[in-house]
A and B are shown apart, each in its own frame.
Chain A
Amino acid sequence: MAKLSTHKTLIVMLILAMLSIGLVPTAFAQDGPFRVAAVAPSATNDLAFSQSMFDALTKIQEELGEDNFEFVFQDGTFIVDDAAVALRDWASSGDFDLVIAHGSQFGSILEELAPEFPEVSFAWGTDQNTFGLDNVFAYTAAAEQGGYINGAIAAGMTETGVIGVVGPIEVGDAKLYVDGFVAGVAATNPDVTVNVTWIQSFSDVPLATEAAETLIANDADVLTGTAQMVVGPIAVATENDLPWFGTQSSQADLAGDDGVLFQIYRWDVVLKDMIEQIQNGTLGGESFVISLENGGIEMEIDPDRFGDDADALAAFEEQVNALVDGIVSGEIVIFPDEAAEPAATEEVEG
Chain B
Amino acid sequence: MIDDIIGTVFKASVAASTIRLATPYIFASLGETLGQRSGVLNLGVDGIMLMGAFFGYYAVLTTESLILGVLAALFIGGLMGLAMAFISVTLKAEQGISGIGVYLFGLGMSELLFQEFVGTPQSVDGFPRISIPGLSDLQFLGLGDIFFNHNLLVYVAFALVPMTAFVLNRTNFGLMIRAVGQNPEAADAMGVSVTRVRYLTVTLGGMLAGLAGASLSIALLNVFQQNLTAGQGFIAVALVYFGGWRPYGVLLGAMLFSFVNALQLQIGISAPEIPSEFAVMAPYVVTIIALMFASKRRERPDALTVPFERG
A350: min CB distance to chain B, Å: 11
Within 8 A of A (CB), among B234-278: 261-262, 265-266, 268-269, 272, 276-277
B150: min CB distance to chain A, Å: 12
B279: min CB distance to chain A, Å: 8
Q: Which residue of the partner chain, among B222, B225, B262, contacts A46 with CB atoms under 8 Å?
A: B225
Chain B residues with Cβ below 8 Å from A42 are: 226
| Inter-subunit contact B230/A235 (CB<8 Å) | no
Chain A residues with Cβ below 8 Å from B223 are: 205, 231-232, 234-235, 254
| Inter-subunit contact B21/A78 (CB<8 Å) | no
| Inter-subunit contact A207/B230 (CB<8 Å) | yes
Most buried by A among B16, B120, B265: B265
Q: A76-B111, A197-B268 are in contact. Are A218 and B13 (CB under 8 A)?
A: yes
| Inter-subunit contact B222/A203 (CB<8 Å) | no
B227: min CB distance to chain A, Å: 6
A325 to B66, alpha carbons, bound, how many Å? 48
A147 to B185, alpha carbons, bound, how many Å? 65
A189 to B41, alpha carbons, bound, how many Å? 56
Most buried by A among B14, B223, B226: B226
Q: Is A349 an interface residue (CB 8 A)?
A: no
A201 to B122, alpha carbons, bound, how many Å? 21
A235 to B13, alpha carbons, bound, how many Å? 19
Q: Is A45 an interface residue (CB 8 A)?
A: yes
Q: Which residue of the partner chain, among A76, A207, A215, A228, contacts B261 with CB atoms under 8 Å?
A: A207
Chain A residues with Cβ below 8 Å from B222 are: 235, 239
For B188-226 the 0/1 string (1 means CB < 8 A from A) is: 000000000000000000000000000010001111011
Within 8 A of A (CB), among B113-134: 114-115, 119-123
Q: A206-B24, A235-B123, A253-B122 are in contact. Are A201 and B221 (CB under 8 A)?
A: no
Q: Is B232 an interface residue (CB 8 A)?
A: yes
Interface size of B by Cβ–Cβ distance < 8 Å?
Answer: 37
Q: Is B280 an interface residue (CB 8 A)?
A: yes
Q: Is A47 an interface residue (CB 8 A)?
A: yes
Range class of the A interface residue count: 35 or more
B253: min CB distance to chain A, Å: 17
| Inter-subunit contact A231/B225 (CB<8 Å) | yes
| Inter-subunit contact A209/B221 (CB<8 Å) | yes
For A31-56 the 0/1 string (1 means CB < 8 A from B) is: 00000000000110111000000000
A58 to B268, alpha carbons, bound, how many Å? 39
| Inter-subunit contact A76/B21 (CB<8 Å) | no
A304 to B230, alpha carbons, bound, how many Å? 31
| Inter-subunit contact A254/B121 (CB<8 Å) | yes
A260: min CB distance to chain B, Å: 17
| Inter-subunit contact B226/A253 (CB<8 Å) | no
| Inter-subunit contact A253/B120 (CB<8 Å) | yes
A68: min CB distance to chain B, Å: 27
For A243-281 the 0/1 string (1 means CB < 8 A from B) is: 000000000011000000000000000000000000000
Q: A197-B269, A207-B230, A231-B223 are in contact. Are A45 and B276 (CB under 8 A)?
A: no
Q: Which residue of the partner chain, among B115, B220, B269, contacts A195 with CB atoms under 8 Å?
A: B269
Q: Which residue of the partner chain, among A47, A197, A229, contacts B120 with CB atoms under 8 Å?
A: A47
For A210-239 the 0/1 string (1 means CB < 8 A from B) is: 110111011000000000110110110011
Q: Is A333 an interface residue (CB 8 A)?
A: no
Q: Is A204 an interface residue (CB 8 A)?
A: yes
A231 to B224, alpha carbons, bound, how many Å? 8
Q: A76-B226, A199-B280, A205-B223 are in contact. Are A215 and B269 (CB under 8 A)?
A: yes
Chain A residues with Cβ below 8 Å from B24 are: 206
Chain B residues with Cβ below 8 Å from A199 are: 265, 276, 280
**8 pairs of residues in contact across A and B, judged by CB atoms under 8 Å:** A45-B115, A196-B272, A197-B265, A199-B280, A210-B20, A214-B13, A235-B222, A238-B123
Query: Which residues of chain B have a CB within 8 Å of any CB of chain A?
Result: 13-14, 16-17, 20-21, 24, 111, 114-115, 119-123, 216, 220-223, 225-230, 232, 261-262, 265-266, 268-269, 272, 276-277, 280
The 3 A-B pairs at the shortest CB distance, nearest first, are namely A217-B13, A198-B276, A200-B280
Known contacts A195-B272, A213-B20; can you find 14 more A-B pairs with CB under 8 A?
A45-B115, A45-B121, A195-B268, A206-B228, A210-B20, A210-B261, A213-B17, A214-B13, A229-B225, A231-B121, A232-B221, A235-B223, A253-B122, A254-B123
